[in-house]
Every structure is written in structure tokens, then in C-alpha cells.
Amino acid sequence: MSKIPVFVLSGFLGSGKTTLLERLLKESVDRNLKTAVLMNEIGKTDTDGRILLGKSQMIEKLLDGCICCNKKSEVVQSMEKLLRLKPDVIFIELTGVANPEEVADSLTEPELINQVYLEKVITLIDAEHILSYNSVFESDRELVRTTRRQIEVADLLIVNKTDLVSESKKQKINKLLIKQNPTSNISFSTFSNIELASLFTHLKSSSVRVKVRIKSPKQEGHHHEHTHNSYSKIKSITLPLSSTTNSLEIEKFLKKWKNNLLRAKGYLNLEDGTYLMQHVMKRVSWERSTYNGDHYIVLIGMDLNEDEINKEWGSLVQKASTF
């Protein structure tokens, strides 16, 4: 089965994510695409109940929490529920304070990695407030980092609510965004009204999708996860390892990509059994695990050099097999 594209909508509170989601759902209906939505709302009870879903659309809500490490199992469960509908596309609307890389991380959990891929991260910018974030959140460095990260990892930046700002403020915002994310497209909008066609060009409705199905890497006998079907800046690379390794070797390997690595994790066999390895913000932890599937690690990062990584991993695998 071909993987299902996932769009992640991020952006600070009130920036226009739900307004965009409504447009995306309408466009999907017009294009005969079956959609599923995962909404993550903090401390809210269904305030976005205004979203009207058409036939063949389904919504899952994660209330009272943020998509992050300790919510991961809930994200996976909700995604599995949505996948049963066999959607053509999935939209995930994050809370204003969530980091898109955390959802990218959830999508690489063993239950999901072969079923979905990250198509694009779209970040909405509140034109009225963006320029004051640094001073408003001065006391909360984590929040400053999150809003910054939402911009850095975006494949598309939408500067919304432009009706509320002057032309010169728009120019200032444009400059700031180019500095923080030089490769993303930037659109300006009111009420998240952007040109949507280009977002949908790669998407096919299920009847067509089956016909153009590409063989999965496994069927072709390759070992590495290919990322060519993702148009996202955040990429994940799966690296399998069947033999026993040691934690220092792995940590040394991870350090090599530290400038581009957002997260890494996986299940590996160490001398005394299977461990879950988690790498978050340069910190690596190892935890005993009862996982009994194939061993691998996944790297999640921006602008990762896949060839180089595969090469280095190849020598690590060779070394491990001689232990």
C-alpha cells in the first residue's frame, strides 16, 4: 500500500490554523479526496466544533494535551483510528504551543512509519503579533524557541491577518521570516485565503492512487527508507541494524549530525538485551524494552545528508557485525 500524505498545520494561538483547515477540507471535497483530521487542542472542550465535516471525512481530537513525548501513544492510537477510514490525506492541526518536529516524531513510530509520511509543514503567522513575540514571551524561553522552530521547519509560511497591519509591517515580517527560514515559500493572506492548488498537485484520490502505486523499498529489496515521496523539509531516515551494538558507538554516530538532527530514536540490541533509544535536544537516553520487532533507528532532521548518513551507518553496521 502506498503511504498516506500528512499535512501538519502549525502556528501560534489564534493565527488562523482552523480557518485554513476549513479551506483545506472544502478543497479536498471538491477534489474528491477522502480526508481525516487530527486536532490537538490544549485545555479546550471542542471549541472548534464549528468545523463541518462532509461525507467521507473524519475527525479525531486529542483534548487537554500537547503532541509531545508522553502523548505519543495517544497520537498513534488516534492516527490508527483515522487510518482505518483509508483516507487519501490527513491533516493534523497542532496546538499553538506545539513543536512540529514532535508530530514528525510520532509519525515515525513503528505502527505508523510504513503507513504515512509527512507531506508538508504549514506554519501560520499572526501578522499582528509576530513582531512582539520576543518581548511578550521574554520570561518564557521555551515558548520563544517553539514559535521560532515553527517558522524554521515550515515548508510553507502563511502570514495571515494582513488586514490588521500596515504595508511596512508586512515588509518587516517578510524580512524576519526570510532570515529564519530562507528556503520556505511565503504567502500573505487574510482569513487564511491562499492559493491551494499547488498543495494538492501530488495528492490522488484512492481509486487513482492504487493504479500509480510505487513499490515500497522493502519490495525492491532495499534496506533504507527512501524519502523521495516527501516534500517536507523535515525528513526521516530509517537505519536498520540486526546485530548487537554498543551505546557509545550509536551516540558517537548521532553526534555527527548534531547540527541537523531534531530527534532520533529506535530499538537496538545491546549486549544485555533490547533498548529503546531516545535522542531529544542533544540528550540521549536508553531504556530497557520488551519490543520484539526488527531493530532500527530513525533520524528526524532538517536538511540531513542522506548519502553521508547511509555511508557512515554502513561502516557502523559492519563494525557491529564483527563484535
Ligand X SMILES: Nc1nc2c(ncn2[C@@H]2O[C@H](COP(=O)(O)OP(=O)(O)OP(=O)(O)O)[C@@H](O)[C@H]2O)c(=O)[nH]1
Binding site for ligand X (CB under 6 A): 11, 13-19, 96, 160-161, 163-164, 190-192
For residues 198, 207, 5 and 293, what is the CA-based torsion angle, rounded to 10 degrees?
-160
In the complex with ligand X, the residue whose CB is nearer, 16 or 87, is 16
As measured in angstroms, the least distance from the Cβ of 287 to ligand X is 33
In the complex with ligand X, the residue whose CB is nearer, 128 or 249, is 128
In the complex with ligand X, the residue whose CB is nearer, 21 or 234, is 21
In the complex with ligand X, the residue whose CB is nearer, 18 or 57, is 18
Query: Quick one: angle between helices 306-321 and 247-255, nearest 10?
Result: 160
The strands making up 89-93's β-sheet, listed across from edge to edge, are 57-63, 35-41, 89-93, 4-11, 116-126, 156-160, 185-188
As measured in angstroms, the least distance from the Cβ of 40 to ligand X is 10
In the complex with ligand X, the residue whose CB is nearer, 42 or 113, is 42
As measured in angstroms, the least distance from the Cβ of 142 to ligand X is 17
As measured in angstroms, the least distance from the Cβ of 122 to ligand X is 11
> Do 99 and 142 meet the contact criterion of CB atoms below 8 Å apart?
no
For residues 114, 97, 88 and 57, what is the CA-based torsion angle, rounded to 10 degrees?
130
Dihedral sign for Cα atoms in the order 174, 179, 180, 184: positive
As measured in angstroms, the least distance from the Cβ of 37 to ligand X is 12
- Indicate the helix (H) or strand (E) that contains 180: helix 167-180
